[in-house]
Amino acid sequence: MNTIVISLITLGVLGCLLAVILYLVAQKFKVYEDPRIDLVEAVLPGANCGGCGFPGCRGMAEACVKASSLDSLLCPVGGAATMGQIGEILGMAAAAGDPMVAVVRCNGTCGNRPKTTTYDGARSCQIIHNLYGGETGCMYGCLGCGDCVSVCKFDAIHMNPETGLPEVDEEKCVACGACAKTCPKKVIEIRKKGLKDKRVFVSCINKDKGGVAKKACAAACIGCGKCQKACKFEAITVANNVAYIDYEKCKACGMCVAECPTGAIHATEPVMAVVEKINAKKAAEAAAAKAAAETTQA
Amino acid sequence: MRTFRIGGLHPHDNKEFSAHKAITDVALPTQAVVPLAQHIGAPTKPVVAKGDKVLVGQVIAEAGGFMSANVHAPVSGTVAKVDSIVDSYGLPMPAIIIDVEGDEWLPEIDRTDNIISTIKAEPKEIIGKIQAAGIVGLGGACFPTHVKLSPPPGNKAECLIINAVECEPFLTCDHQLMLEHGEEIIIGIDIICKALGIDKAYIGIEGNKPDAIAKFEELVKKAVNHVEVVPLKLRYPQGGEKQLIDAVIRRQVPSGALPIATGAVVQNVATVYAVYQAVQKNRPLVDRVMTVTGPSVSNPGNYRVRFGTSLNDVIAAAGGVPEDTGKIICGGPMMGRAMANTNMPAHKRTSGILLLPESMSTRREPENCMRCGKCVDVCPMGLEPYLLSKMGDMRMWDEMEQHNVMDCIECGCCLYTCPSNRPLLDYIRMGKATVGGILRARAAAAKAAAEAAKAEEKK
Ligand code: SF4
Ligand code: SF4
Ligand code: SF4
Ligand code: SF4
């Protein structure tokens, strides 16, 4: 009986003493953490994809709380809605970022781009890239082993076995940019989604001279500059034998698409409808001109 | 017979196709395409322009620093242009293109077969001549030779080891060179010993070349220095610098250190021959002997090829590409690389062309790793290839660094031996490239930080 009482008392006293010490130490070494970090983290999607440029969502939350303005910060996954919520928590106005999406800038499908060699090593774009120019005559385009597919955390990009190229699922893609960062050929670009999904981009990054590029791939940009002349908004620049469309300036009018002799310019469906109209008009004009020429001849 | 102590294996050597075939010259091309980057290190700067007349042996591109080697005109004629060509891997590569006219050499080059045995040049002069002649390691690595012969401060050369192992299957060019130019090679050894200020050299030869061993055992008696022939047991990759040092003088190069840390300088036989020619005959490196071989090649052999000659012409000299060819490999089957384009000029790195039939060159479907440990057994660097390759697949760069991926010599033993046909080396090589980049970035950042600190201090 005595033993029990003694142990109870010693343990009780010891417990109280230690609790007091723990409390004092905790007070002394307390690290102040802004409670808003937790609040911000709670509204972030928690995907930890790194698309914002910070290591995980917690890093982004810390950066938001520290920042004096939210202008340069964007969670591509949550988009404007999430940024708005963060803005409310922190009492700052969130910049209304345009929605973006990943686009694959290569149209070297199996049909367009014949194979010149066969690669039978480990299936990885990075490995092929370190080794040689790739299985086709184009050393710039997609290598087709799907490194981009394996890094996408949102199941938004898949290989199309028919074309041998990756395809982005616009519904799922949050423009985190992981695929663009991984691609050793830098084939993938993050571009503005565009009003009503209207997007026009040059689906080729081949820097070879026209003839060489054309030989390697039927859909290559040959740098002829016709699109540049057709564009009324000065959105197109041609450098290093390849055209590039600035998505900030492009109005998705579709004029360049109709002009490109190789079909290197890719447009989404809403734009294609316009392009078809332009093409029909052009065909009619050509027919009229021909008829006129024939009548003058006669 | 001795050999190295860790790992290694013995693939069938397949040397019978081209062994003992006398070295024959391949005809000069009508147009020579001379790549500007033919070595490890800084690229060269062209010093000729379109329309210039050049003679064989004239410098056409100057070394871009100490870690670089001059490029000489391998043919005489007129420079057509300096342009970008497509290399054997389908990537662009700068080159000087020369229209060949006759075969006129610089007058100071001695082209006779006379053997000059007295070495007049002083050590400094020897290294200068080697540097001017653009000599690089002809075993395959293409490391500028003058750099190797100038040990970094704090290291001292104690002995020279001549790499006459030729452990790559199929290749026989070094063997044939030894049989035809033994005397010159012995003088070359004396020259290098003089340059390094040492008097001890070993020649490591694998046991499958008994005639070369016998010949050199006679020849070494004529050498000024103490030269010893060391016959070695057949084992791949004995020709690796670290393996050869271990096999010959039983010393191991520590991880991350240069081979000179063991006091040994290793030179390939073909390099030694080139050194002889540069120092005694003023002849720069404008050609090399290469093996063109394969089970179905109609005329396999050892060919002396002027740089700039298209490999297509070299293959044609050996009887053309056989019907059944699956891969054309630049170098040997273990460490060579399959070419995507054979319209590539021969250069300092081309040690051989191997035309493998489809049946021998297609890789089998990889299966799961069964942890048999065979790759660990054969790795001559004591690494764990199965683990490294998995890490590479999962992009675990830090872990790869901790597991010494940078020590891998890319010998291919692991890949060769794997019963599950796993592409081990593919992943390891990717890891090496990535980790190497990370290390370089880290070193650059550290250097920048140190400099910033220094600048701060000065203030
Ligand atoms: S887009 Fe890039 S990462 Fe994706 S499959 Fe093509 S080369 Fe590979
Ligand atoms: S497709 Fe690319 S940008 Fe889009 S979510 Fe996947 S990895 Fe991110
Ligand atoms: S028109 Fe087509 S091929 Fe010509 S530059 Fe524009 S995108 Fe390239
Ligand atoms: S390739 Fe590298 S990992 Fe594989 S056996 Fe050779 S040294 Fe070892």
| Fold of the domain spanning A100-190 | Alpha-Beta Plaits (3.30.70)
| Type and span of the H or E element at B246 | helix B241-249
Q: Which residue of A has its CA nearest to B337?
A: A131
Nearest CB to B340 within list A122, A126, A132: A132
Judging by beta carbons within 10 Å of its beta carbon (0-12, 13-18, 19+), is residue B415 exposed, middle or buried? buried
Question: Residues spanned by CATH 1.10.15 within chain A?
Answer: 35-90
**Which residues of chain A, if any, have pLDDT below 50?**
none
Mark out the alpha helices in chain A (DSSP H runs): 2-28, 35-43, 56-66, 79-90, 125-131, 147-151, 178-182, 210-216, 226-230, 255-259, 269-297
Average pLDDT, chain B: 93
- Cα B214 to Cα B421: distance, rounded to the nearest angstrom: 40
Is B427 close to A124, i.e. CB distance below 8 A?
yes
Ligand 4 centre from B410 Cα, in Å?
Answer: 5
Judging by beta carbons within 10 Å of its beta carbon (0-12, 13-18, 19+), is residue B94 exposed, middle or buried? middle
Q: Is the pLDDT of residue B14 over 80?
A: yes
Instruction: For the beta carbon of residue A46, count every other beta carbon within 10 angstroms.
Output: 13
Does residue B34 contact residue B308 with C-beta atoms inside 8 Å? yes
Query: Which atom of ligand 2 lies nearest, measured to the CA of A172?
Result: 5
- Cα B361 to Cα B296: distance, rounded to the nearest angstrom: 13
Query: Which atom of ligand 1 lies nearest, measured to the CA of A129?
Result: 7
Domain A35-90 -> CATH class: mainly alpha
Q: What is the pLDDT of residue A298?
A: 59
Q: What is the pLDDT of residue B37?
A: 84
CATH number of the A194-288 domain: 3.30.70.20
Q: Which of A119, A139, A148, A185 to mutate to test the interface with B (most CBs of B within 10 A)?
A: A139
Paired tokens of B17: 């196709």
Categorize the per-residue pLDDT at B15 as very low, low, confident or very high, splitting at 50, 70 and 90: very high
Mark out the alpha helices in A152-225 (DSSP H runs): 178-182, 210-216
Closest C-alpha to ligand 1, atom 4? A148
Q: Is the omega angle on the peptide bond into residue B153 within 30 degrees of 0, that is, cis?
A: no
Is B340 close to A124, i.e. CB distance below 8 A?
no
B442 phi/psi in degrees, rounded to 5: -65, -45
- Cα A92 to Cα B273: distance, rounded to the nearest angstrom: 75
Q: Which of A115, A118, A119, A120 to mutate to test the interface with B (most CBs of B within 10 A)?
A: A120
Q: Which pLDDT tens digit goes with each residue over B389-424?
A: 999 999 999 999 999 999 999 999 999 999 999 999
Per-domain residue ranges for chain B? 15-281, 304-361, 374-454
Query: Which atom of ligand 2 lies nearest, measured to the CA of A182?
Result: 7
Does residue B315 contact residue B292 with C-beta atoms inside 8 Å? yes
Q: Is A147 in the pocket of ligand 1 (CB under 6 A)?
A: yes
Closest by CA to A125, choosing from A163, A159, A155, A100, is A159
Q: Which residue of A has its CA nearest to B425?
A: A122
Closest by CA to B379, choosing from B6, B10, B5, is B6
Q: What is the pLDDT of residue B96?
A: 95
Q: Which residue of B has its CA nearest to A135?
A: B340
- Cα A67 to Cα A54: distance, rounded to the nearest angstrom: 13
Is A130 close to B90, i.e. CB distance below 8 A?
no
Q: Which residue of B has its CA nearest to A132?
A: B89
| Fold of the domain spanning B15-281 | Rossmann fold (3.40.50)
Q: Which positions in chain A have a beta carbon within 8 angstroms of at least one beta carbon in chain B? A: 116-117, 120-122, 124, 126-127, 130-134, 137, 139
**Nearest ligand (C-alpha, residue A263):** 3
Pocket of ligand 4 from Cβ distances under 6 Å? B 378-381, 383, 385, 408-414, 425, 428
Q: What is the pLDDT of residue B109?
A: 92
Is some CB atom of chain A closer than 8 A to the CB atom of B429? yes
Nearest CB to A122 within list B89, B92, B427: B427
User: Which residues, in sequence order, are bridge partners of residue B105?
Assistant: B56
The residue to mutate among A103, A105, A188, having the most atoms of ligand 1 within 8 angstroms of its beta carbon, is A188
Please give the order of strands across the beta sheet that includes B53-54: B31-35, B92-100, B77-86, B53-54
Kindly provide the residue ranges of all beta strands, DSSP E only, lying in B45-135, ordered along the sequence.
45-46, 53-54, 59-62, 71-72, 77-86, 92-100
Paired tokens of B313: 């012409």
3-state helix, strand, coil in chain B (%, to 5): 35, 20, 45
Q: Which residue of B has its CA nearest to A125?
A: B430
Question: B189 Cβ partners below 8 Å, 6+ apart?
Answer: B160, B162, B201, B203, B223, B225, B227, B272
Residues of chain A in contact with residue B434, where contact means CB-CB under 8 angstroms, are 126
Q: What is the pLDDT of residue B296?
A: 92
Is some CB atom of chain A closer than 8 A to the CB atom of B386? no
Ligand 2 centre from A181 Cα, in Å?
Answer: 10
Q: What is the pLDDT of residue A50?
A: 81
The residue to mutate among A103, A165, A179, A181, having the most atoms of ligand 2 within 8 angstroms of its beta carbon, is A179
pTM: 0.84
Ligand 2 centre from A149 Cα, in Å?
Answer: 8
- Cα A189 to Cα A55: distance, rounded to the nearest angstrom: 21
Region of residue A179 (left: phi > 0; alpha: psi -120 to 50; beta: else): alpha
Paired tokens of A283: 């065909």
ipTM of model: 0.86
Looking at the complex, report in whole angstroms how far the Cα of residue B188 sits from the nearest Cα belonging to chain A: 36
Residues of chain B in contact with residue A145, where contact means CB-CB under 8 angstroms, are none
Does residue B354 contact residue B290 with C-beta atoms inside 8 Å? no
- Cα B390 to Cα B96: distance, rounded to the nearest angstrom: 42
Q: What is the pLDDT of residue A96?
A: 65
Ligand 2 centre from A169 Cα, in Å?
Answer: 9
- Cα B180 to Cα B276: distance, rounded to the nearest angstrom: 14
Q: What is the pLDDT of residue B354?
A: 95
Nearest CB to A120 within list B362, B393, B433: B362
Q: Is the pLDDT of residue B425 over 80?
A: yes
Q: What is the pLDDT of residue B459?
A: 72
Map residue B52 onto helix, strand or coil: coil
Q: Which residue of A has its CA nearest to B90?
A: A133
Residues of chain A in contact with residue B397, where contact means CB-CB under 8 angstroms, are none
The answer for B 51-110 residues in CB contact with A (under 8 A) is: 89-92
Nearest CB to A130 within list B92, B423, B433: B433
Ligand 4 centre from B356 Cα, in Å?
Answer: 23
- Cα A46 to Cα A44: distance, rounded to the nearest angstrom: 6
Q: Which pLDDT tens digit goes with each residue over B224-265?
A: 899 999 999 999 999 999 999 999 999 999 988 889 999 999
Closest C-alpha to ligand 3, atom 8? A221
Q: What is the pLDDT of residue A95?
A: 66
Q: Which residue of B has its CA nearest to A134?
A: B90
DSSP letter string over B193-214?
HHHHT--EEEEEEETT-HHHHH
Question: B7 Cβ partners below 8 Å, 6+ apart?
Answer: B377, B378, B379, B380, B381, B382, B413
Ligand 4 centre from B43 Cα, in Å?
Answer: 28
Is A139 close to B90, i.e. CB distance below 8 A?
yes
Closest C-alpha to ligand 2, atom 2? A179
Query: Which atom of ligand 2 lies nearest, measured to the CA of A102?
Result: 3
Q: Which pLDDT tens digit goes with each residue over B64-96?
A: 888 889 999 999 999 999 998 988 888 888 999
Is some CB atom of chain A closer than 8 A to the CB atom of B433? yes
- Cα B64 to Cα B134: distance, rounded to the nearest angstrom: 12
Looking at the complex, report in whole angstroms how far the Cα of residue A102 sits from the nearest Cα belonging to chain B: 23
Question: Residues spanned by CATH 3.30.70.20 within chain A?
Answer: 100-190, 194-288
Question: B57 Cβ partners below 8 Å, 6+ apart?
Answer: B72, B73, B105, B106, B109, B283, B284, B286
